Structure 1
């Protein structure tokens, strides 16, 4: 145990609160969810409910390296967030800016080949089959206008 509690801990290039449980603090990293954090911590032999601020520098480094290379831990492919990459065909797990850049690149590729999803992205419409009749509207709020009631029409 570290003799000193740290309120901010840097893991995998992200500042995390030291007063959170380890699994939930790691879930604040983009690309790492609570279930992935639990799986990684169990593989490494850490208690997921331990506070992040109580870890030593070596333990933080061990967790950081494991998150950067999740595939090496032997987790099943369905736990990884990039299964069967379209270019390489390999499964991997991306975090932080790597994840953002890869997703942006995928969207640009869909736009370039003019796939259905790419066209929807270009037009700023819903991509995954959601309804668009009433939701996803932008601009001025336009509601349904009721016609004049019968009494008002008789007065005229």
Structure 2
């Protein structure tokens, strides 16, 4: 079984399809890599040599941005927006929509129940003296039959392991 940059290659797949399992590599990039190495498009991964797979990994590592680099770059972009305190950075920090979507009826649950998106910080991250605001609480959504709305119940347990 072969691996390229942490992605497992299926042995019965063709070499032109197998690299698309790596995040950031699409069909076009996989075809370009295959052409650069002069590999036939019908050859399968289990028929290719170790040298060919090493060459594929080398070319992808040199020329293409793979999934962990994409995630790292996205995270750095969001942190830069937060650092310069622009509108988008503030919206990221508050966990709100960035591009003009409404917040009156939608995008409420992420603000209300502690779901933290990328870039947003919880209030008590660095201060262990304060307990978590929602510790011991569990929210239950109950749909009502006559108004088609949800009722939010807040139930407190002394020790909640949920």
Q: Please indicate the TM-score interval, normalised by the length of the shorter structure.
A: 0.5 to 0.7
Shift of 1:58: 0.2
2:120 pairs with 1:120: no
> Residue deviations 1:116-156, cap 9 Å, x none?
322232222333x363466655366989x47xxxxxxxxxx
Matching of residues 23-102 of structure 1 within 5 Å: 23-70=16-63, 93-102=64-73
**Structure number having the greater helix percentage:** 1
| RCO comparison, higher one (Cα < 8 Å, 6+) | 1
Q: CA RMSD in A?
A: 2.8
TM-score normalised over the length of structure 1:
0.59
SS in 1 for 2:16: helix
SS in 2 for 1:42: helix
Could you tell me how far apart the structure 2 residues matched to 1:117 and 1:48 are?
Answer: 44
Could you tell me how far apart the structure 2 residues matched to 1:45 and 1:97 are?
Answer: 28
When residues 29 and 137 of structure 1 are mapped into structure 2, their CA distance, relative to the original with a 3 A threshold, is farther
Whether the 8 Å CA contact 1:12–1:65 is kept in 2: the answer is no
SS in 2 for 1:64: helix
Could you tell me how far apart the structure 2 residues matched to 1:66 and 1:141 are?
Answer: 54
The runs of at least 4 aligned residues of structure 1 exceeding 4 Å deviation read 133-137, 139-143
Shift of 1:27: 1.0
When residues 131 and 10 of structure 1 are mapped into structure 2, their CA distance, relative to the original with a 3 A threshold, is same
Aligned to 1:131: 101
